[in-house]
Chain A
Amino acid sequence: MKFTMSWLKEHLETKNKDTQIIDKLTDVGLEVESFENISSDLDNFKVAKIINAEKHPNADRLRVCEVDIGQQNIVKVVCGAPNAKKDLLTVYAGPGSVIPKNNMKLTVSKIRGVTSYGMLCSESELKLSDESEGITELKPSKYSDKIGKNFFKNITEKVVDLSITPNRPDCLGVRGIARDLAAAGVGKLKSTSHKNIKKDGSQNIKVSITKDKNQGCTIFGSCLIKGVTNKESPKWLKEKIESLGQKPISAIVDVTNYVMLDLNRPLHAYDADKIDKEIIVRNSKKGETFKALDNKEYKLEDEMCVISDQSGVLGLGGVIGGTRSGTELKTKNILLESAYFIPRSIRKTSKLLNIDTDAKFRFERGIDPQSIEAGLLKASQLISEICGGKISKFDIQQFKKYKNSEIKFNISLFEKITGFKVKENEIIKILKDLGFKCSKKKSELKLKIPSWRPDISQPIDIVEEIVRIKGYDNIETIEPKKNRFKDTLNKQQKLFHFLQRSIASKGYFETVTWSFTDSKINNLFKENLKEIKIVNPISSDLDVLRNSIFSNLAFYLKKNLDRGFKDISLFEIGPIFKNKNPGEQLTVIGAIKSGKISRLNWNEKERSVDIFDVKKDLIQTLIEAGYDKQNFFIRDKSPSYYHPGKSGSVYLYKDDIDPVAYFGELHPNIVKKLDIKTEGLVGFEIYLDCLKDNKIKLRDQKSHFEYSDYQKSERDFAFVVDKNYKAQDLIEIISSIDKTLIKSIKVFDIYEGENIPSGKKSIAINVTIQSSEKTLDENDLEKINKLIISTVESKSGAKIRS
């Protein structure tokens, strides 16, 4: 909402300075976005003289002009206008200027090899007229001594630009703003002058509002003004319209716009001679069409509120008028409309047709239903003053009578909500100044809500009115109390934060990527989950919710590889989506690692990353989170986006149905499809929702501290097993032979090849044996040795390697 101070002062009698007014506006909730001279941009436009004009060396139609822009500055400007000649006085715009017509910002640029510093402007470019043939020609008599001076006189006032919240339609008019300021102590609201106007004859175009279901118009007021001479608006009116950055059109249109900006009372003027007999306000029928003032043809649906005559639709009520009945300069008789349209209906229609107009914006927020006559009065009076003509009596058709609603307000509510007290008579004064009618009954106020405040319906709204006018500064700052009802984090949240830092501590960079992704990449990772499309995606490559944590990680990994990074470790912790309903999401950690370990290292051999790198990070993270590695179980099953032979899943317990994590190499086909070029690409996922809560606290798990001081012995074994035999099974067999004696088992070599039959491999393990009762002698050790060999051989079909 824009206005000038002088306009404001037509409604507000005040001695306050502009800065005080500006501060107050923000204080009462009318946020000032800016207070500046809107024409300041125009200071870049200077009166200039062409002192030389030559043909462009590389273009026949262009000229290279030397231009005097004052203060002994001569600049070179390339110009295409035929009238760009020596000695012409014209308007020069320097680099940085914004051309009013197209908002184009000028820069120093080369035009066909010649550098041009700025531009010489046509009248059309300056929005002075529609003249676009050639540059502006200024009269030497008026301008010859003004070279270098601003072309636009700085007569325009500073403009206040407010950001009006949707609950305050009344402040979309200058008067509403003045009322708030007056209530807040900045001057006095002037009363509206009621000049009596002479009304001649009746409004003889019949108006009817049909009793349609969900009729969107409840009041339709109108009057005729006959015998007008439409013309350019007078200077004061033009300046008002222009001061807000709008374009004056004709007196009739400018007056309706002026009344709208002044009182937030939208009006519409029809050329009365173009109306076919009568006005019918009705619901549209599907398939009806009409051409609107934006020159677009609209096809209507059922139940849109239209203003029509006997030939068809004239306009969409409260949204946009039509070309058929629009006023022109030659218009002689006009019908002025001042109506009330229901916000919901306006919103529905404009959404369906995708129309956004000033009128729609206002009606959607709620126009004062009691301003019908005031609008007609002010506008018809102005039109007849400017354009002449006789004003008819007003015709008001009402579908539903509007009544001011009333509420009861208990004064104590104010202090209960705000924490501070305001004296009763001050409360009453504030409310009265805002337009409420107040009567008091004990500690209760009976309030009649002003018709221009559709936002107010209950006592809490009254609290807001008082506190914002009184000022939020009066609210005390109360020291926060530290009382607590619940732990800050629940167990799952603690786990989230723990895992996040646990993974980062292993050398991964945490990233946060969109919850949506490119469906093409998502398809590579979504397995059997349903694709979740976004109806209105921000771009076509972010068109679905991610089914997997890997799609974005892989995409951004590639981006970083393309930036020249090679050895990358990234992870993200966040949601993935199983389906589109609320709650059908999982929290997942995804980590991805590329390139090599020890690349270009002087003392360690470099090698590509492999799955045991990520397995290490994964298992260690689970251990740190408090899960017992002794119970972990690895299977070689994993989702299809992993390399089928180089991936696995981790179960907290062997009998668990669901794995808690996957790890492995990414499937080579996917790597190829995504065109990722790296020596190695491995990753892992942890599903937080599957991580069972450790029921026993860590501190309780650790209550027993047992150890043995007797001597440890180590024995090495090498077993020859089938190639597909799993080390995990071998370890399990051995560890279950004697859980008290066998303290640890390490795999220290895997060998295939010479001396091993084909289809077989050798697994070499080291077993640590220790008793907690005595030092084991050779006999004891030999016994357990033999037991290990015989048990392994019988249970696994392995052979000890001699």
Chain B
Amino acid sequence: MSDIKKIRDEYLIKLDNNLNYESVNQIKTELFGKNGQISNSFKTLGSLPNEERKKFASDLNSIKEELQEKINSKIQEIEIKEINSKLENEKLDVTLPEREINQGKIHPVSQVIDEISSIFSEIGFSVEEGPDVENEHYNFTALNTPDNHPARDMHDTFYLDNNKEILLRTHTSPVQVRTMLNGKPPFKIIAPGRTYRSDSDQTHSPMFHQVEGLHIDKDINMGHLKGCLDYFIKSFFEVDKIKMRFRPSHFPFTEPSAEVDIGYELKDGKIVIGEGDKWLEILGCGMVHPNVLKNVNVNPDKYQGYAFGIGIDRLGMLKYGINDLRAFFETDYRWLNHFGFDPLDVPSNYRGLSR
């Protein structure tokens, strides 16, 4: 017993010295190797009398565990020391620039279309589309704008043939016609898309975007129209209150017709939508003209409803403070980067329309 106690004391002291990995291994062999001192002590167990053996075995085991633990902790200590000394040589300049990632952008028009779709989705509208090239019937005649109607002059139309039968749609209203011809009422749709007029200055561009709205059912009246637009404008501009003015106007395809102004004020040269004392025209709307309903085989005595048309680019300009419409379509990398949106910014009701 005193022997193994001696071994224990001796080696515990040894292990307290400053050792390297090799010398710890050496000690390990000396103790637990084939002929190690502890291994040999175990070999003596068999020759001991029964009554001593139990006690000796228990002492020996606890000394073995104690030494092993000491060795393990010594090894760990050495390893940590080694890593630590290595780390001193592994200092990077973390202020160097990170690897590059190219950030993509979504065009403001696409973003605004998604915002609009999200808003109208909340109140049950679905999205319809139609072709960019239209015939004059869908673009004008079916919309109660016959050939000799002066309202045609208000649309500077691009034509694709000399007979003026095929044209680039001047508004998204032909989608109304196509949707109603291809389906049965009720209808509750919006139709965003490209539209074209031969006009170009700071606020006009030969191509622009509109969103058409159409809600036809048995009892849809002007109050519903007002409610829908009031909801839309508030949601779009993300304000609780908005000053809105419905003014009588004229569109051949709606009767009665209205133009809608919203209140704004100028703050530091920027337009602030809401409750200012100035008016800004923002959209045209009205009750779908019975002639239009007849033209698309919907019985105007049974069904009625409203339609509206909003300039998408203009909404985007107002909401995001963009001054020049033409810049939307000029693909200036700086502009796209500045006004574009992160592709992860998907407008939705629960996450909010914009950040």
Contacts and interface: CB of A to CB of B under 8 A. Distances in A.
A510 B105 contact: yes
Interface in A456-497: 458, 460-461, 463-464, 467-468, 472-473, 475-490, 493, 497
Given A460-B287, A478-B227, A581-B133, A542 B101 contact: no
Interface string A551-572: 0100010011001010011100
A481 B124 contact: yes
Contacts of A476: 223, 226-227
B161 interface: yes
A560 B337 CA distance: 12
A408 B158 CA distance: 41
Contacts of B168: 515, 534, 545
A560 B333 contact: yes
Contacts of B222: 417-419, 467, 475
Nearest to A475: B222
B36 interface: no
B107 A511 contact: yes
A602 interface: yes
Interface stretch (A107-115, A160-168, A729-737, A744-752): A160-168
Interface stretch (B49-57, B63-71, B252-260): B252-260
Given A26-B247, A582-B134, 20 more contacts: A166-B154, A167-B250, A417-B221, A419-B221, A420-B223, A460-B255, A472-B258, A478-B221, A480-B224, A486-B188, A487-B126, A509-B337, A510-B105, A512-B329, A515-B207, A533-B160, A536-B159, A560-B333, A574-B194, A598-B100
Given A29-B247, A482-B124, A508-B104, A463 B99 contact: no
B121 A488 contact: yes
Contacts of A601: 99-100
B150 A417 contact: no
Contact of A460 (B134, B164, B194, B289): B289
Contacts of B151: 166
Given A505-B343, A580-B160, A481 B123 contact: yes
Most buried by B among A168, A510, A563, A603: A510
A536 B167 CA distance: 10
B282 interface: no
B131 interface: yes
A513 interface: yes
Contact of A602 (B96, B107, B131, B333): B96
B234 to A, nearest CB: 11
A12 to B, nearest CB: 19
20 contacts: A166-B151, A416-B219, A418-B221, A464-B255, A467-B248, A475-B222, A501-B343, A504-B104, A504-B106, A507-B103, A509-B104, A510-B336, A511-B336, A535-B164, A545-B160, A565-B333, A575-B132, A577-B133, A580-B161, A584-B133
B172 interface: no
A81 B230 CA distance: 61
A503 interface: yes
B206 interface: yes
Given A29-B248, A510-B110, A570-B331, A347 B148 contact: yes
Interface residues of A, number: 96
Interface string B129-141: 1011111001000
A511 B340 CA distance: 9
Interface of B: 96-97, 99-107, 109-110, 114, 117, 120-127, 129, 131-135, 138, 148-151, 153-154, 158-162, 164, 166, 168, 186-188, 194, 196, 198-200, 206-207, 219, 221-224, 226-228, 230-231, 246-250, 255-259, 287, 289-290, 304, 328-334, 336-337, 340, 343-344, 346
Contact of A504 (B105, B161, B231): B105
A512 B104 contact: no
A31 interface: yes
A463 B304 CA distance: 14
B188 A559 contact: no
Contacts of B227: 476-480
B107 A563 contact: no
A232 interface: no
Contacts of B304: 416-417
Given A420-B223, A570-B331, A581-B166, A472 B247 contact: yes
A364 B35 CA distance: 121
A365 interface: yes
Interface of A is mostly: loop
B164 to A, nearest CB: 8
Contacts of A712: none
A28 interface: yes
Nearest to B281: A31
A460 B346 CA distance: 42
A419 to B, nearest CB: 3
Interface string A59-95: 0000000000000000000000000000000000000
A536 B333 contact: no
A343 B148 CA distance: 8
Contacts of B110: 500, 510, 512
Interface in A147-177: 165-168
A473 B304 CA distance: 21
Given A505-B344, A510-B110, A488 B247 contact: no
A501 B105 CA distance: 9
A29 B329 contact: no
A344 B152 CA distance: 13
A486 B124 CA distance: 8
Contacts of B328: 512
Contacts of B206: 514, 516, 538, 542
A168 B106 CA distance: 44
Interface in A431-467: 458, 460-461, 463-464, 467
Interface in A338-371: 343-344, 347-348, 364-365
A789 interface: no
A461 B289 CA distance: 9
A508 to B, nearest CB: 5
A787 to B, nearest CB: 42
Given A464-B248, A485-B186, A500-B110, A419 B224 contact: yes
Given A475-B222, A480-B227, A500-B106, A31 B249 contact: yes
**8 smallest beta-carbon distances between A and B, as pairs:** A507-B102, A29-B248, A165-B250, A419-B223, A556-B331, A484-B124, A464-B256, A468-B248
Contacts of B120: 488
A580 B97 contact: no
Most buried by A among B97, B336, B337: B336
A582 B256 contact: no
A568 B333 contact: yes
A63 B254 CA distance: 63
Nearest to B121: A488
Nearest to A467: B256
Nearest to B156: A536
A504 B337 CA distance: 12
Nearest to A507: B102
A216 to B, nearest CB: 12
A509 B219 CA distance: 45
Nearest to A356: B153
B126 A486 contact: yes
A585 B133 contact: yes
Nearest to A343: B148
Nearest to A168: B250
A477 B126 contact: no
B351 to A, nearest CB: 14
A532 interface: yes
A27 interface: yes
Interface in A719-740: none
A798 B196 CA distance: 58
Nearest to B194: A515
A677 interface: no
Interface string A14-30: 00000000000011110
A512 B195 CA distance: 13
A364 B330 CA distance: 39
A583 interface: yes
